Amino acid sequence: MGLSIGIVGLPNVGKSTLFNALSAAGAQAANYPFCTIEPNVGVVPVPDDRLDQLSALIKPLKKVPTSLEFVDIAGLVRGASKGEGLGNQFLGNIRQVNAVLHVLRCFEDDNVTHVEGGVNPVRDRDVVDTELCLKDLETVEKRRERTLKNTKVGGKVGEEAKAEVALLDRIKAGLDNGITVRAQKLTEEEGAVIHDLFLLTDKPVLYVANIGEGELGKEDANPHVKAVREMAAKEGFEVVVLAAALESEIQQLPETERPGFLESAGLSEPGLHKVVRAGYKLLGLWTYFTVGEQECRAWTIHQGYKAPQAAGVIHSDFERGFIKAEVMRWEDLVKLGSESAVKEKGLLRVEGKEYVVQDGDCMHFRFNV
């Protein structure tokens, strides 16, 4: 669906290390700022036990998970909004993503320098947000100047321009006080007015608290993690705690050795799985499945998609010529063992154009073009 999450943070907090683990793309990671110059992009499969269970039952020739795109963006520093470091490039790259994964350093290590002089994840978040607010201020002010000219026009155009200027003034006042756009709680209608500005602080955020390997299982005792959780709770966003260096090690192991390594580290699954699932949730995404002997496949949709829109994710012809959808729940199929058994129990439904697809539906579309 072309959705992407940008990995951001100050230099040397573990962004590229996390990206390496997520994508196994081998992005360079080194102990100095601006190691990541061009944004690295990785397409990461979304772990889904439901697809695994369906595939184990159907035994298709191919299993295809859905995926998310992660973008590793150069580290931000104070003054980035005015072009310090790789500021302009950073801000241009982040403007293109749909959500932000903000990596915060919560580990102490004298061998890894910190551009702010010491570990303080809440301060680090504030540094990044301040720079993004300053850049958004520029964007809002430019839009205000253009819109102001239309306030002198009569009729509907002039009235709409006046309303927009009033909204921009309110947003500007918030940004001037360091309040991000997402924290200003705009209405859906107000959000639509400024949507095309792609404001940096309007993007939803997932925080990753990066801890040391030795702190796994003891993260509740880490004061930095506690501070990040309290901060995120106030904003209404989620926190995933992991050791990025360890996650990168896990991804370098052969598949057969990973379960044993995870067990020895006291993990039930890689922390990356939690990151990807949390990112998926942050973007308001759901998954439906198509199942058959040739292929079991997961498809990404936005929450609230109706059946024709969901069909269009497969191919535009499916949406254009949509007739109906045969729908069953994934858990019914796994429990009963076959589509025919689901039908016998009366659990296979025929739905029309107004059906709102649910997370975990198994679907077969009928269409005619």
Q: Is 283 within 8 Å of 3 (Cβ atoms)?
A: yes
Q: Which residue has the tokens 């890894």?
A: 112
Tell me if 354 is assigned to some domain. Answer: yes
Instruction: Tell me if 12 is assigned to a ligand binding site.
Output: yes
Tell me if 267 is assigned to some domain. Answer: no
Tell me if 333 is assigned to some domain. Answer: yes
**What parts of the chain have a pLDDT lower than 50?**
25-38, 80-81, 84-87
For residue 335, what are the domain limits? 304-367
Residue 178, sorted as left (phi over 0), alpha (psi -120 to 50) or beta, turns out to be left
Span 121-146, pLDDT tens digits: 999 999 888 888 888 898 999 999 99
Tell me if 62 is assigned to some domain. Answer: no
Q: Is 213 within 8 Å of 106 (Cβ atoms)?
A: no
- pLDDT at position 77: 57
Domain count, the chain: 1
- pLDDT at position 297: 95
Residue 265, sorted as left (phi over 0), alpha (psi -120 to 50) or beta, turns out to be alpha
Q: Is 194 within 8 Å of 167 (Cβ atoms)?
A: yes
Q: Is 15 within 8 Å of 245 (Cβ atoms)?
A: no
Tell me if 321 is assigned to some domain. Answer: yes
3-class secondary structure, 69 = strand
Tell me if 325 is assigned to some domain. Answer: yes
3-class secondary structure, 323 = strand
81: which DSSP letter? G
Two structure tokens written together for 295: 């292929």
Tell me if 309 is assigned to some domain. Answer: yes
Two structure tokens written together for 369: 């073009």
Q: What is the CATH number of the domain that holds 350?
A: 3.10.20.30
Cα–Cα distance for residue pair 341/328, rounded to 1 Å: 11
Instruction: Tell me if 13 is assigned to a ligand binding site.
Output: yes
Tell me if 361 is assigned to some domain. Answer: yes
Instruction: Tell me if 156 is assigned to a ligand binding site.
Output: no
Instruction: Tell me if 17 is assigned to a ligand binding site.
Output: yes
